[in-house]
Chain A
């Protein structure tokens, strides 16, 4: 196998593996890189490939390493890692064309595994470039002595021709809603809110720029301080972390005294959890989901693909004016024992000095506002009495600290309360006319139950850092250094660029990545297709592809089917026909010279001209390519000959 071919295969494998380096265990990346370098060096120096037993040893050791790292061989991560290790090992025992073909197919397969991690536009472009390299190598494999330039050209032509056909297939290929079989646990990546809140969990999430979901409002969007996107509701506190606990008797929630509805469409990024996000409080939803007794929207299956839904919410409401005693009891749970005595003490003092529950709430907020609390991403660590430490010692925290402490104080003062997590606000994208809600918008707040008002949202963060609620995270933090660059105050052009890119990404998500059976149906109906069945789609698809291929065939083979003799030859043939008309047909075996001599003998008056013409013709047709002058001269003379 020639060196350029091996370099091509090496490059192909390198390009498909490189994007994986980010999430592969370090030792696997190192092993793959080492093997490829070794192979490149062997090729360069023309040395022999390593012995079989050595490769076998590496394979066994590598597989054992993967089992040790992942504790399995069959999960997605472990499988992908194994596949990549085997591909690099295959490079080491490249002996004939069949091995090389296996590698080409493997490379294509590894490209697919890349899509588990990213399906963004840059990934797609990068992998298109990779395909180009792979196909070029593939062509090289078939024709060993073809130069680089025609090789690249043929690969490019094949790819470009396949693109429109791919589009037809993509649009019309009947979609089946997966999964077809049970997926391993680690099938989907997940970033986002958890239903477990402990000090530091939200501030860590706030550092992520990743998009949680995108929202477009139908009509006027609500005020920013109304954009509370409700997520998991947490009831159970163990002194450090909040968890949902278990609802004993699910009751259908009741909303009364509703204000103006807000309609919007959410495109939720997959987060591999059950819950959906909606503005407080949700009423209608375009997809099936359960509304729990604490107003969460839960999906039956985990959201592991991008999900689009329309929803209607009421921002002004009374929720569960008649709450069941069980729920109220749950909302008063405190960790057992005597944790956080000073906080309990403080709450008891408030209770003693206030006339009603609402008064205590106001007192608590005023306390946060006046006692020198700082809103920061970098809260100092807390001890075993986490609430006491926060309230009386460190006095620095992020929204989860405030929500947690506030709910604790309320419960200690005998007011039913719970923690609600979700997102607050979002960034308006001028280009796409929608809001982007990122992980950095994650937020936690509190809800208290007041007689006559039901569950009321109280955001203690608003008491310390009102800017967080009204203007967003970057406005509220004094120490912005910890934030991602784009969350600080980037220049306007950068902001616009980001909006444009995000708008593009949104379209990409909606139309390319989110193209499922529903969207396909909707799109085809909009194109005017009626009563869509898969048979009909298949028929249309075949017809479309057949047509495009026929067009390509016509274009590609046009040179082959139209024979254009050059002008000189055409003139000569015309002359021969004219002479044939006068009784002197040219025999099949006769060259111009012989024919001219025969004509000259039969028609002495033409002799000089015809012999001269034949000589000129021979020179033009069989000699060195003549100049235009000589050609024109010949054409002129041939035409002027009177037969």
Chain B
């Protein structure tokens, strides 16, 4: 049915718009067409009507009309199920390549009416056959519902949801009511870290001697686990005591300094080099070292800490990408 629309009109009607902030689903943004099941019902109703006429069944007419009108009213209900939802994109945590990014979306339902069976899917997919199971959720009345839209990260750099289709077939499944959501929200994807890689040799500021691993033994405290921390550093005893995932931190003697240089990677192609560097950054941070980053397009001075680690990873993730901003 949709294909019957002239292409130009379709292009205008469903013109892509990338938005930020909150989207309010007004009637101009909501589209509605009958589903396949809706057409089946039309067929059933026609058969019923023929039976009514043939056998002169007055109550048959009543039933047929009742069903017809319920179907028509369900269109209004389907529309109402989407109308005036307010949707905001929330923040998304960076992920490593190969993991699933969770795009947080907030569905604010200010009204007194609960919205049921909302489905979210990427817009590229066909109307009738969803290759991926859609994300289904309800938005209870007067509440802000937080929904994580999962998307598999397959390349480093910025990951975007593209156009999302929010649809519902509630209440009778006879009408497909949908709206497009296209937020400017994006998720940073770090390269997938190499399985294991030996850190390059560290250098003291005076430029002498090998890195002293002894520093690792100086336990200085615990901090919360963040993605990418080395498993041996997790305090499993604390975890067993149900204190959550904690990571042991070690102080390093001052002056120990590590230089993670792109040029030092033994790999041949860029992606592999970046994967190795990602591993280095993670390990260096896990071991509590001071480390600096050196990429062909710039350097980061030596430092340590989660913020520094994230900054390094960001630089690696966005290395040599056109979409690189900031």
Contacts and interface: CB of A to CB of B under 8 A. Distances in A.
Contacts of A553: 76
A115 B59 contact: yes
B54 interface: yes
Given A158-B74, A158-B171, A178-B53, A166 B117 contact: no
Interface string B54-68: 111111111111111
A177 to B, nearest CB: 8
B73 A183 contact: no
Contacts of B44: 105, 108-109
A15 to B, nearest CB: 14
Contacts of A116: 55, 57
A142 B71 CA distance: 14
Given A556-B80, A557-B83, A112 B53 contact: no
B111 A560 contact: yes
Contact of A170 (B41, B61, B170): B61
A549 B55 contact: no
Nearest to B21: A588
A253 interface: no
A291 interface: no
B306 interface: no
B58 A142 contact: no
A109 B48 contact: yes
A516 B74 CA distance: 29
Nearest to B83: A560
* Majority DSSP secondary structure for residues of B touching A: helix
Contacts of A552: 73, 76
A179 B55 contact: yes
Given A112-B51, A142-B170, A305 B117 contact: no
A119 B66 contact: no
A176 interface: yes
Given A105-B44, A161-B73, A115 B60 contact: yes
A150 interface: yes
Contact of B58 (A101, A108, A119, A549): A119
* Majority DSSP secondary structure for residues of A touching B: helix
A554 B235 CA distance: 61
A127 B51 CA distance: 18
Interface string A499-527: 00000000000001111100000000000
B130 interface: no
Interface string B25-66: 000000000000100110010011011111111111111111
Contact of B138 (A145, A513, A559): A145
A133 interface: no
Contacts of B170: 139, 142-143
B13 interface: no
Sort chain A's interface into a size bin. Answer: 35 or more
Contacts of B63: 108, 111-112, 115, 127, 131
A561 B80 CA distance: 11
A516 B57 contact: no
A150 B76 contact: no
A513 B61 CA distance: 10
Given A142-B173, A163-B66, A560-B83, A119 B40 contact: no
A241 interface: no
B72 interface: yes
A170 B64 CA distance: 10
Given A169-B65, A170-B65, A515 B58 contact: yes
A271 to B, nearest CB: 15
A131 to B, nearest CB: 7
Nearest to A182: B54
B289 to A, nearest CB: 38
B322 to A, nearest CB: 30
A278 interface: no
B110 to A, nearest CB: 8
A141 interface: yes
A601 interface: no
A135 interface: yes
A375 interface: no
Contacts of A112: 48, 51-52, 57, 60, 63-64
A166 B52 contact: no
A165 interface: yes
Contact of A512 (B55, B59, B69): B59
Contacts of B163: none
Interface string A155-180: 00011011101100110010011111
B77 interface: yes
Contacts of A111: 63
23 contacts: A101-B40, A101-B173, A112-B48, A112-B51, A112-B64, A119-B58, A127-B59, A131-B63, A138-B172, A138-B173, A142-B171, A143-B116, A154-B77, A158-B171, A159-B70, A161-B73, A162-B70, A165-B69, A166-B69, A178-B56, A183-B55, A513-B58, A563-B110
Given A109-B48, A515-B58, 13 more contacts: A112-B48, A112-B57, A138-B173, A142-B169, A142-B172, A145-B138, A146-B116, A161-B69, A166-B66, A166-B69, A170-B65, A513-B59, A545-B72
Per CB-CB distance, the 10 closest pairs between chain A and chain B, nearest first, are A162-B69, A165-B69, A143-B117, A560-B84, A169-B65, A162-B70, A166-B65, A513-B58, A143-B116, A179-B54
